[in-house]
Amino acid sequence: MASPLLATASAHLKSKGIGVNVVYDQSLPVPESGMLGMGEEKYQARLYWADGRIRVWGRFSMATLSSADLEKELAYTPSIAAEGWPLLATSAKRRPKEILICTHGARDCRCHDKGVPLLEALREEVRKKGLENEVKIGEVAHVGGHKYAANAILLPTMDMLSNLTAKDAPQVLSQLLTLTAHALSPDKGNGTHLWSHWRGRYGLTGDQQAKLWSTVDPNAKKVQDQRETVQLRFRTFEGEERLVQGKVGENLLEVGKANDLPSLEGVCGGNLECATCHLYISASPAAPVPDPSETEMDMMGYAIGYKEGESRLGCQVKVTAGLGEWCKNGGVIGLPRF
């Protein structure tokens, strides 16, 4: 989809930590004007927050991107509950729920081959349970990464589930209904939930994700607290050196977020769908990190200021004791300008 509006919206909103994607919705009427190739683009758009708040624009256009209305909405920040993360507002629980499946075969055939059967199974499950007025099943452009297909996004909870099959349809539906009923908190009494397929929740920080996961797996926090801590050396674009602590097993994006380092956005949540956690690992001395995967290399094609032999995505580089020793011996992790 060669859409100037999509490209501009993605660039503008990703700089603010907001991911942008396209949903294919057959139930929406085709607008009389404003479609791709028919003058100014105008589409329906929805903005979601981690507490279930939603803002809908009937006709989102280039003008909307610079409007005071949008800026006002972007200033909203969900309140953090006692649990340690935003909880679903009561009003959000009453709204229709939605499950979006990645079926983007043009980007990756695996997403189509795995996603379409799950999509059809979910629609059948909703029909069997008589939930057509409560739960909507839709399709979304590429999300989650091909090796994790089939991928699903639950709305309004904004949870992502991956490595799903058509057989998982009943449990995926149950997961969404129970999460909304429990205000986004895991229901420990329901063993059918697909937490082993959970990839994270959009809108949460790394610390909030960890707190949520620790309620699902009590051992997670214990293991996290016991991890070795090493010192890492970063250098900003302006040349300022920052020494920060990172735990073995974390990735460099998580370290950057935890220590408020500049230019590390990671708006896709570390799912290899953007290059906003791009950084530089100096080649001399050589760093003890694995070579980038083919998928990482593909995504680095979008990195601003790419440097051959140095550019990496922070979400794909794990903290190790060896990396800490490398920094101690003069190794530096560079941060880009943007």
Tokens (6 digits) for 157:
């909870």
DSSP string, 55-102: EEEEEE-HHHHT-HHHHHHHT--PPP-TTSS----HHHHHSPEEEEEE
User: 229-334: which CATH topology?
Assistant: Ubiquitin-like (UB roll) (3.10.20)
Query: CA 234 to CA 247: how far, in whole Å?
Result: 15
Decide: pTM greater than 0.95: no
154 has which bridge partners?
99, 159
Does residue 146 contact residue 110 with C-beta atoms inside 8 Å? yes
d(CA 268, CA 166): 25
Cβ neighbors of 272 (< 8 A, separation 6 or more) are: 145, 295, 296, 299, 313, 315, 316
Give the bridge partners for 242, in sequence order: 234
First and final CA of the chain: distance in angstroms?
A: 26
Q: Given this model, what pLDDT does residue 283 score?
A: 85
Q: Residue 29 CB: number of other CB atoms within 10 A?
A: 6
What does the buried/exposed string (b/e) look like for 114-150 if buried means 16 or more CB atoms within 10 Å of the residue's CB?
Answer: bbbbbbebbbebbeeeebeeebbbbbbbbbbbbebbb
- Asked if residues 183 and 309 have their Cβ atoms less than 8 Å apart, the reply is no
Q: Is residue 324 within a helix (H) or strand (E), and if so which, with residue range?
A: helix 321-328
What are the tens digits of pLDDT across the range 148-162?
889 999 998 888 999
Alpha carbons 337 and 114: distance in angstroms, whole number: 38
pLDDT tens-digit map of 300-316: 988 999 999 999 999 99
Domain 90-221 falls under CATH 3.60.21.10 = no
Alpha carbons 45 and 67: distance in angstroms, whole number: 14
With helix as H, strand as E and coil as C, how does 220-244 read? HHHHHHHCCEEEEEEECCCCCEEEE
| Domain ranges within the chain, ordered by starting residue | 4-74, 90-221, 229-334
| Six token digits for residue 149 | 């297909």
Give the contacts of 131 (CB within 8 A, at least 6 positions apart).
173
Residue 189 pLDDT: 47
Phi, psi of 180 (to 5 degrees): -70, -35
Query: What tens-digit pLDDT sequence spans the chain (338 residues)?
Result: 578 998 899 888 887 888 888 888 766 555 544 554 556 899 999 999 988 889 999 999 999 999 999 999 999 998 888 778 888 877 776 778 999 999 876 655 778 888 899 999 999 999 999 999 999 999 998 777 767 889 999 998 888 999 999 999 999 998 888 877 766 666 554 544 577 888 888 888 878 888 888 777 655 555 455 678 999 999 999 999 999 999 998 999 999 988 889 989 887 777 788 899 999 998 888 999 999 998 899 889 889 999 999 999 999 999 999 999 999 999 999 999 88
Which pLDDT value is given to residue 289?
Answer: 95
Residues with Cβ within 8 Å of 192's Cβ and at least 6 positions away in sequence, in order, are: 171, 174, 175
The CA distance from 326 to 218, in Å, is 33
CA distance 176 to 184: 9
C-alpha torsion sign, points 25, 29, 35, 36: positive
Please provide residue 162's backbone torsions phi and psi, each rounded to the nearest 5 degrees.
-135, 170
